[in-house]
Structures are given as structure tokens and as C-alpha cells.
Amino acid sequence: MRNVGRLWRPTLRIQRRDFSSSARRLDNYAFIGLGQMGFQMARNLQAKLPPSDTIRVFDINKAAAEKLMHTMKTQQAGGAVAEVADSAGDAARDADTVITCLPEPKHVKSAYETILSAYATTPKSESPAKPKTRLFIDCSTIDPSSSREVANAVSTVFPNGRGSFVDAPMSGGVVGATAGTLTFMLGAPQALLGCIEPVLLRMGKRVLHCGPQGAGLSAKLANNYLLAIENIATAEAMNLGVKWGLDPKVLASVINVSTGKCWPSEVNNPVPGVVETAPAGRDYAGGFGIGLMRKDLRLAMLAAKEAGADLPLAEKASEVYETAESEERCKGRDFSVVYRWLGGKE
């Protein structure tokens, strides 16, 4: 039953409906998890879907869903019909495509438990001869084994390819989510690429297929492990150079044409004033939060342990992020704030 009070039908949809034939299959989407990333992704998806489609959104924080409906209504024209669901199960029940964007493995597991039990207890309206196939795209950054656990649960409830769970963690941050320019690292069977890509490209500009289910997360965590180390090493090297009396801009310009060049030295330099657009220049506000870096590092360490891969630098790096984050002057800021934690000159 649709909650009309919270349902927003763009005028465009009603007009198109009058002219279109009813032969076209309507696509139903669910979007679950409307935080910093999910809010913007759901907004872009809704805006770019045809008015004949429906998107049902859910977040345990009701205010996030209400705010999204308001934004869609006041700032966007056209797009799919949008509705607020009462639970993750309610959002996903009739969906062909379910997208989740949640903080941690425990949230993803709990949301899919709710979703799958809602399917299991719903009387089947579809024809048993031609059952609906469902696609579940999880964009959360979690560990590959938790993701595989959820994928197995999905294929138990939807056997014989009637339901597929794929991982599509992303990079690009809130800026990329807002602009619709995210890069997705996809772990999915080759055969599903044709269905998944068009959905992701409504929220991003690039889809990198990394291999079967779980491979997107492995690639994301390997990249973020490298980033975690490079960020600390850049902060240390910049602090060292400044303490030796070097001008930080001169040092950065040397590094950036030499072998030490990396994203933290070139784009996200931790010394205020070296790169104008970097978070360091605005008291480390915005950017990639130190808490998220710590989380990704922890997930990479867990996955490395399961794979029997040694990460000798990981423990120390984790300790650095943890202690830095525990200090008020660093908490909630961009992860390049490690430079401040080291006592770097600002």
C-alpha cells in the first residue's frame, strides 16, 4: 500500500503515462541507506530514471528519507516516482533492483536479513513460470567475506539465478556522489554487466569490473590500504623536510616530479597552503574522514589475514589513525590531518 502522504509523483510522469503503451515493463528500484553518499546517489538515480519507474527509499533515520523527498520535489524536475518505505523489506519487496549504501558489515548483514525475510514471508504475486529476477547492488565498503556471506544468503532465497548480489564499492567521496561522477569497483559475474552498468552510470561516470562477486571490495581495500600508508608517509616526509628548513612548496614540487609522487603529495598534500584546494588549507575540513580511513584499513587488515597476506606496516598505521582520531584537534577531519598529529608546522 502506497503512503500517499509521502509519495511524490512528478507531473512529467503522469503526462508521459497518458501517451505511453502499457506494454513496457516498469522498473522498480529500492535504495537503502541515505547517508552522506547514499542521499546524493539516490537523488541522482531518481533524477535520471524515466518517469515510468519507481524508486522506494529507506533509512533507519526517517529524517534522511524525508529530506531526500523534499530535495527531489523542490530541486529536481521529472525522474522516477519516489516513495518513502517503512522498512528495508518494504522498500525492496517489489524491487527489480535494490541498492544498498551502508556504513559497516553489521549494517549490511542486518539490512539484508530484513530484506530477505520480507521476501520469504510475502505471498508471491509473480507468475511461477516466469519469476522476476532481482539484482542487489551493495555499494558499501565492507570486507569481502561478509559480502560473500550476504551473496550466499541471497542465492539461497533466490536460487537458480533469480537473485544476484554484487559488490560495487566506490571512490570519489561526497563530492563525486553529489556530482554523479563516482567510480565503482564492481565484483559481479560478466553476464550481469549489461544490467548493472546502466544503473551505476546514473550515479557515477566509471565502472571498473574487477572480477566475480567480492572482487570489487578486494580492489577497493587494496587501494585504500596503499592510500593509508602513502598518506602517513607523505605527512612524515613533509614534516621532516620542513623541520630541516625546506620550503614545503619547494619540497612538494620536488617530490611530485620524483619517485615519491603519490595522490597525498600531489592532490591532497597535508601541509596547509601547498595545494590550494586540499583540505589542509581549510583546517582539514571535508575530504576523506580520518574515521573512514581507519575503518577501511581495519577491513583491509581483516581481509589480508583471511588471505594469509602479511601487512607489516598495517598495525602501526592503524595505531596512528586511531590515536590521531582520538584527539579533538584531529577528530572528524580529513585523514591528511595526520600531519597535524605529528606536530607539523601549519
Restricted to residues 102-141, the positions that interact with ligand NAD (CB under 6 A) are 102-103, 107, 110-111, 140-141
Q: How far is the CB of 171 from ligand NAD (least distance, A)?
A: 6
Catalytic residues: 220
227 and 263 in contact (C-beta within 8 Å)?
A: yes
Nearer to ligand NAD, 237 or 292 (CB): 292
Is residue 95 part of the contact set for ligand NAD (CB under 6 A)? no
- Distance between CA atoms of 340 and 222, rounded to whole angstroms? 26
Nearer to ligand NAD, 10 or 180 (CB): 180
Among 201, 237, 292, 304, binds ligand NAD (CB under 6 A): 292
Contacts of 266 (CB under 8 A, 6+ apart): 252, 256, 275
Residue entry with cell 620536488: 254
Among 34, 85, 200, 210, binds ligand NAD (CB under 6 A): 34
Q: How far is the CB of 39 from ligand NAD (least distance, A)?
A: 7
Q: How far is the CB of 99 from ligand NAD (least distance, A)?
A: 12
Q: Minimal CA–CA distance to 84: which of 49, 57, 63, 62?
A: 57
Dihedral of CA atoms 219, 222, 226, 231 in degrees, nearest 10, equals 80
Site map 51..80 versus ligand NAD, x via CB under 6 A:
-------xxxx--x----------------
Contacts of 293 (CB under 8 A, 6+ apart): 224, 227, 228, 231, 321, 335
Element (DSSP H or E) covering residue 13? helix 11-19
Q: How far is the CB of 64 from ligand NAD (least distance, A)?
A: 5
Nearer to ligand NAD, 96 or 138 (CB): 138
18 CB neighbour count, 10 Å cutoff: 6
Q: Which residues bind ligand NAD (CB under 6 A)?
A: 32-38, 58-61, 64, 88, 101-103, 107, 110-111, 140-141, 170-171, 173-174, 288, 292
